[in-house]
Structure 1
Amino acid sequence: MYAVTISAPRVLGAVPDDVGEKSHWLRDEAGKGEAKGYVNPWKSAHDFSFPEIFRAMVRHKFFSGDSQRPDTTPPTVSVIKPKFLPSRKSSEALRGTWLGHACYYIEFPTGLRVLFDPVFEDRCSPFSWFGHKRFTPRPCDISDIPSIDCVIISHSHYDHLSHLTILEIQKRHSSVQFFVPKGLKRWFTDCGIKNAVELDWWEDVDITLSRSTDTKALANSSDSGRSNDDITARISCLPCQHTSARTPFDKSTTLWASWAVSSGGKSVYFAGDTGYRTVPYLPKGIDDWGPEFAHLPVCPAFKQIGTLRGPFDLGLIPIGAYKPRHVLSPVHSNPYDSVEIFKDTNCKKAMGIHWGTWAVAEENVLEPPKLLKKALAKSGLGETGVFDVCSIGESREF
């Protein structure tokens, strides 16, 4: 029904002064050429080597007394069947539906439909018989989603990028466009998918969905006088603090990213999967956001995003998969980190993602929303509803 036009990736918005240095690129010994891999270029990050993470996990599992297996026995997170809008122009509000973990379906008032980090399999694993299994069911199938214009991928980890899901989306929505971080387009090409666009941090594309003359005439007769203008949007690839891998041998060979999408005066910031600061090993019960740890560096990219690209009407910000803290803090945010990301990125409202679906870390599966309330109160935001959680399958308007 729509012809899609996409501009070449380039810088279209405000960027930091040092963006041209590409400090997140790993290059050859001369420091020239294209990226051979990627790195988090901030003091807030720490890249564990395999021996480091092995020693840390052995100490945690067998000597800390703090290791646990989260209880996923039902009931856990409520799951309801989502209700999508009946037509593209049936709401003046920005509408978001959580489909579990980091997957969100956004319906813009312009008619644009965007799906973030879709994974519809039972396991986030390269195997159907092994790996983390859902403790909450899928709220719907891909076939239940009426239209998908854009799919945005934050990085290559299996709980954010699924081969079978991507193929099913392409099969059912042939004109869908995939937007991925730099280096990941090859994976899509190898899957037989040609409509993938890769971007580097701070690059943007403008996308236009144009109806054919016949389709516009049909819509005019059925939409009660609704406007049938072309749908336009800007999609921006932005930094975050994480890593990537599909196998033990390709760590950090493709980029990870957060994203912004704006259309018709409404904007969404999708943080994807990210850490905020690196926390050292601490005894059980110690608050790593206490004043004695105020010196720990935080990732500066989020304030840059908020200053240069904000404000955003809605932020989709991860709140789960953070224990053991000294191992996962460089790449996963706990709710106290998440509230700081929310404030830094200048989001008006936010919803918590990256929890409630797979028990990929050790915290209790219902702990993230409880800690989020405490973090909001500590930050002075209190019970204002500015940063909330919802049932899987539930929709909110913004």
Structure 2
Amino acid sequence: MMEMKMLKKQLFKKRINPHYNPEKAHHRPYGFENIPPTKIDWRDLLRWTQERRQKRLPQAPSTGYEDFIKKNMVPLHFPEKEASTFIWLGHSSIYISTPEVSIVTDPIFSHRASPLSFLGPLRKTPATSVIESMPRLDLILISHNHYDHLDERTILELYQKFPNLLVIVPLGLKPWFLKRGIEQVIELDWWDCEKLSFSQAPIAITAVPAQHWSKRGFLDRNASLWCGYIIQLGGKTLYFAGDTGFTPLLQEIGERFSIDIGFIPIGAYEPRWFMAPQHINPKEAVEIHQMLNIQQSIGIHWGVFELTDEALDEPPRYLKQSLQEANCQESEFITLAINESRPF
């Protein structure tokens, strides 16, 4: 065990971050880190895994999985091209469509959030014929490389159907796409802005800070960056938070942008002693909504995968309670059924 730990440490030190800029606090010679740095200790992971097994968590939804699906899914209908609409496709996957451009964030429509077909978080709510029925797609936004946000099977199927699509990713993630034959990829650092044009309509994508981490393999922890995105199109400003813990860094996003719609995670937050640095809970989601002065927020990152200890149906209840405690109108921060759409 000790020899393996030393070998991993030596290999980690030899890794070089080609994007390293010593003037940026979140850059390190070997990769990236949060401001201030956060660390996930393997002993804490072991403790959480053991406690979860002993307590038999997570529990099933209060009325069972079948009823949860009935109450929290609707038939999928993609919008007409003329409409400006977004659809929550489950977890952190949002389809955003205007007459000129269509975007999807962190698409995952596979059976599991895992590199293995037989092991890893299993979907509890189905993703039926999403790609087959998707009418068009111009742009994919990826927030980080975790398997529930960057799904190889989904990406390859989307690329096969839409070979001209563009992908925007955080620093360090472009090689993953190039290895799979996807060449139209743009990497962004925090606060980098990419200005694009689709059907002569301008769109601006800005990568913004988040407090999280990255890892897909044994030796690649934090080798690529993580981020949220500001999406400016059709006269509206949208904020996609990706995955994040609560950090004062987020306040600057609200200072720089007047946000019309926020897509903020409300799930995968228990137990707090372990999850707080990497995932906000609904109470913190409301704090972010208020801190950034967002006109309306949509709760995402819940209802699909049982990643942590809370039940699938807990986040919306906790969100409602948190809104009441914050004296915030329920209409300001809502949840949708999977596949439900809203105009914007």
TM-score (norm 2): 0.88
Query: What fraction of aligned residue pairs are identical, expressed as a percent?
Result: 35
Name the amino acid aligned to 2:88: W
In structure 1, the residue matched to 2:26 is 24
> Which blocks of at least 5 consecutive residues in structure 1 are unaligned?
1-18, 28-35, 211-229, 277-298
Q: Tell me whether 244-253 or 365-374 shows the greater mean CA deviation.
A: 244-253
CA contact (8 A) 2:141 2:168 kept: yes
Q: 3-state SS of the aligned residue for 2:68?
A: coil
Sort the Cα spacing of 1:106 and 1:257 in 2 relative to 1 into closer, same or farther, 3 A: same
Name the amino acid aligned to 2:130: D
Q: Does 1:142 align with 2:131?
A: yes
Q: Does 1:159 align with 2:148?
A: yes
Distance (whole Å) between structure 1 residues aligned to residue 157 and residue 192 of structure 2: 28
In structure 1, the residue matched to 2:216 is 246
Q: Does 1:351 align with 2:298?
A: yes
In structure 2, the residue matched to 1:256 is 226
In structure 1, the residue matched to 2:12 is none
State the shift of 1:264 in Å.
2.4
Q: Does 1:100 align with 2:107?
A: no
CA contact (8 A) 2:52 2:58 kept: no
Q: Does 1:369 align with 2:339?
A: no
In structure 1, the residue matched to 2:111 is 122
Q: Does 1:75 align with 2:22?
A: no
Q: 3-state SS of the aligned residue for 2:67?
A: coil
> Which blocks of at least 5 consecutive residues in structure 2 are unaligned?
1-20
In structure 2, the residue matched to 1:331 is 278
State the shift of 1:253 in Å.
0.8
CA contact (8 A) 1:80 1:139 kept: no
Point out which structure has higher relative CO (alpha carbons under 8 A, 6+ apart). Answer: 1
CA contact (8 A) 1:67 1:362 kept: no
State the shift of 1:337 in Å.
0.8
State the shift of 1:131 in Å.
1.1
CA contact (8 A) 2:263 2:300 kept: yes
In structure 1, the residue matched to 2:15 is none
Root-mean-square deviation over aligned CA pairs:
1.8
Sort the Cα spacing of 1:187 and 1:270 in 2 relative to 1 into closer, same or farther, 3 A: same
Q: Where do 1:27-46 residues align within 5 Å? A: 27=29, 36-42=30-36, 46=38
State the shift of 1:86 in Å.
2.2
Name the amino acid aligned to 1:199: L
CA contact (8 A) 2:27 2:33 kept: yes
Q: 3-state SS of the aligned residue for 1:21?
A: coil
Which of the residues 249, 257, 260 maps onto 1:301?
249
State the shift of 1:85 in Å.
2.0
Sort the Cα spacing of 1:186 and 1:370 in 2 relative to 1 into closer, same or farther, 3 A: same
State the shift of 1:194 in Å.
0.3
| Count of residues paired in the alignment | 319
Q: Tell me whether 69-78 or 194-203 shows the greater mean CA deviation.
A: 69-78
Distance (whole Å) between structure 2 residues aligned to residue 165 and residue 75 of structure 1: 27
Distance (whole Å) between structure 2 residues aligned to residue 117 and residue 56 of structure 1: 26
Q: 3-state SS of the aligned residue for 2:320?
A: helix
State the shift of 1:56 in Å.
5.1
In structure 1, the residue matched to 2:176 is 187
Name the amino acid aligned to 2:249: A
Q: 3-state SS of the aligned residue for 1:333?
A: coil
Name the amino acid aligned to 1:101: H
Q: Does 1:341 align with 2:288?
A: yes
Q: 3-state SS of the aligned residue for 2:104?
A: strand
TM-score (norm 1): 0.77
**Higher helix proportion, which one?**
2
CA contact (8 A) 2:79 2:85 kept: no
CA contact (8 A) 1:101 1:355 kept: yes
Distance (whole Å) between structure 2 residues aligned to residue 56 and residue 123 of structure 1: 21
In structure 2, the residue matched to 1:288 is none
